[in-house]
Chains A and B, each alone.
Chain A
Amino acid sequence: MNFKKKGGVAQSIPTGSMADITFLLLIFFMVSTVFVRFRVSGIMLPKAEKIEELKKRRHINYLWVSADRKVYIDDKIANVDQIAGIFYDRRIKDPRMVVSVKCDQRAPYGLISNVLEELRKADALRINFATNREG
């Protein structure tokens, strides 16, 4: 008895459009990627409910206060009395500046109050207490 072979069905997955799909994904990730500009390690942000998101990233300036009472501007360590001068210059360059104050949850309020006082001297009045979302 002769067994006849069944008509062959193509078993390969079409890969012709693979490049198009990857290009699409690539463009999506290229557009949505934002690089973390500054990072100070060991900062534990507090949690809050009533928070707002900062939109325009290029107007955001970062000020960090660590648990061991050190102050960083962007990611460079600074003295409290340097803050006013530095942020005064930045505010002149960018009047729509927002200062994101990223303080460790263990930092004492007295230091943060001094930092805010310096920001007032520099006329950098729009601030944002960086927090994580509660829950």
Chain B
Amino acid sequence: MALQRREKSSPEIPTGSMADIVFLLLVFFLVTTTMNQDKGIGMQLPPQGESKKIQKKNICNIWVNVNGDILINLSDNVPLSQLRADLERRMAENELLIVSLKADEETPYDKFIDVLDEVKLSGADKISLASPSE
């Protein structure tokens, strides 16, 4: 009996179209890539129920009204551009100063963030966010 050899099939994986596949994947990742990262103003909230008695002279109250006008300690009306310098001066006078930020219920968020940004830029690290109802 004559056994016929089977025809050999080539054991190699065809790599001719590899480059095409890689290009396709490359284009997919090029299109879907977003380089943006989450960023913003970091804050650490106080735990609930924690209230400390703080001496009045160590608190600097900042009120922000609906129009974004700023009032410090119920007496000084400070424009946003001068807030940083004003706070730096106050903090140089009193190292224990705590900045308490209070905004009206209807104050737009960007006005609040503008003020918070200036407070952060002034180097204040003790910042309290008071709720509007208090």
Cross-chain contact A123 with B47 (CB below 8 angstroms):
yes
Interface residues in B, total, Cβ within 8 A: 43
Main secondary structure of the interface of A (DSSP, over half): mixed
10 tightest A-B CB contacts, nearest first? A110-B105, A105-B110, A29-B29, A46-B110, A130-B40, A48-B117, A50-B120, A46-B113, A109-B103, A54-B38
Cross-chain contact B109 with A104 (CB below 8 angstroms):
yes
Main secondary structure of the interface of B (DSSP, over half): mixed
6 intermolecular pairs with C-beta atoms under 8 Å apart? A26-B25, A36-B34, A46-B113, A53-B37, A108-B106, A128-B43
Does chain A have a CB within 8 A of B96? no
Assess A106 versus B110: contact at CB under 8 Å? Given A100-B40, A127-B45: yes
A-B interface pairs (CB < 8 A), number? 154
CB distance from A75 to the nearest CB of B (A): 15
| A22 to B19 Cα, complex, angstroms | 8
Cross-chain contact B44 with A126 (CB below 8 angstroms):
yes
Restricting to B86-120, which residues have a CB under 8 Å from any CB of A? 103-110, 112-114, 116-117, 120
**Hey, which chain A residues are within 8 Å of B109, CB to CB?**
46, 65, 103-109, 112
